[in-house]
Structure 1
């Protein structure tokens, strides 16, 4: 019974250590996510302040406010997850403390029994008599080992009692700390809910005012649509020309060199881990078809994502590759296409570029500087990702490729 009790206590202590390690990893991941969301929210705060310098409500302000609402909701969900995790850990710690306390009580009772037996049989003569009364030498040797093992076991029991007591104290201290963290998170969640309500009221106010400027918005939307179509057609033309050139070189078939195939595989393996094309920013334009934020019945087709950032921000390559095209489109500024084997990344809306066609670039290398819409005080980085094959082209959602 003593052996199984000792093993049970040791298993319990190991469970405590494993539980602490797992909890620490999950906690760190949630805290990291919360910190990143706070950074992005602060970025929207600054960008909205910049936009407010125009002294009028703009579509840019509305999109930034909507992005902040989305980020705020995600932040609240993250805090809720943290609270749920702490609640689970508090319940687990309560159970572990109770289990360890029961083990400690059994250990102490068993140890007291051993001490009593040792006291009763404390006479050295009795131990020697026990050994020399053996039937043969081997039995005497076994009895000697038994006496030594019993002494060692008693010492281990004493050490186990100390270790169990220490673990209980540690868990109790951790429990008090977790309850304080939970209290702080609940207060933080309450504040974020209040800020969310304020953001939603601001959104309604801006939307209401913009809806009174429908004519001007429709005119601007038509102009932006024309610029976007020109950009899309030029990107499509350039990439199709690259495919045609590759087919001509490959005898009518689209094939990748071993180097390009390896680069493609490396690019694919980094999906969800690629750096952002700007150092700081927040996504304000999503991939695919989107409803216009103000105008009813208007759909916007976005081949990539739009990232709002600060004035003068630099654009970075999101992966190693080769510049295949640098071109200019009125309204869309200067633009760059980079090859990554079977993939292409497109960077638009720059006022200045620092690379040339045929140049090899590395991850996070500066490509150029974004232009700013002075009327609305907005600076947008536009990123697209295309996959090319013998069958044609497929547009990818960059939000799924860059780091979250």
Structure 2
């Protein structure tokens, strides 16, 4: 009987050890998957926060589309991770179920053995056993029968302890199973939520793709229109610069004013490369001189620079000179051209509240206008600024002071 019990204990110990080993492997695998899930969720949250900070009106359709595509990619990755974790949980549930069956069978076996022993002792009767021991023929037989009785009692105690331990393990298995089933249910809900998010983001992507197509068509029209308007503006400037008689009159007027103010009559502008003050303060260049690529991939040729600032910001003359022209061109709005002598001129477009007149002398840094509103109900404004020398377009940033 003692040998059977020992074998049973060894079987339980080995089963528990193998079960714990497999359980540890599953736990390790699940931990890796959960770390991956945390990382992906963090990336999705980051993109969502970026979208909340930047409204659709403040971001280009292309950038919004890129953000949505990133979110779709991460959501698909998240769903795959959820599916991997679901497989791990299913594996865990399967393992726990096996342990429950194993412990259940072991428990039934122990109970049957104990029941058999109790019935045997009951039928035989303890008094009969004691009588049998004392009726032994010799001392050795007495000792043997006494040891047998003690062994029966010990086996009974061990079986009872084994039943208690197995029952405890079985209860733990059932609790683990319940927890795993709850986790599986939560995971299914999360997966369903992310699949809905994925479907919504794919719909948004299609909407933005359609919007992008429309924007490309609109942009192409605008670029053609702007190119025509830029050509018109260039022709006006060249025509003005080619009017030698008017240029001589302005040179004379400028020389007279400079003489009265004890300023050098000529050569002023050519020596100011990299030293001119900016035409607007608190601003930044958003479109540089020359060829620029738009967010939609189109290329536009800029004759000057576009400077983003606040609406109604003061527009300042970068150097003293004579106002050679004030005009209006659709797409550029009001335009002021100042002649600085020695065939150098500066152009200030997209302005309003003009405070100078044609042929008027203006000092350096004097207010000549205000920046007009960039968009309806917007607090921003854009100044278009150009520099011309010897009838050629020059890069304005090469002439303005370097900003820190």
* Higher normalized contact order (CA 8 Å, seq sep 6+, divided by chain length): 1
Larger Rg computed on CA atoms: 2
TM-score interval (norm. to shorter): 0.3 to 0.5
Q: Normalising by structure 1, what TM-score?
A: 0.46
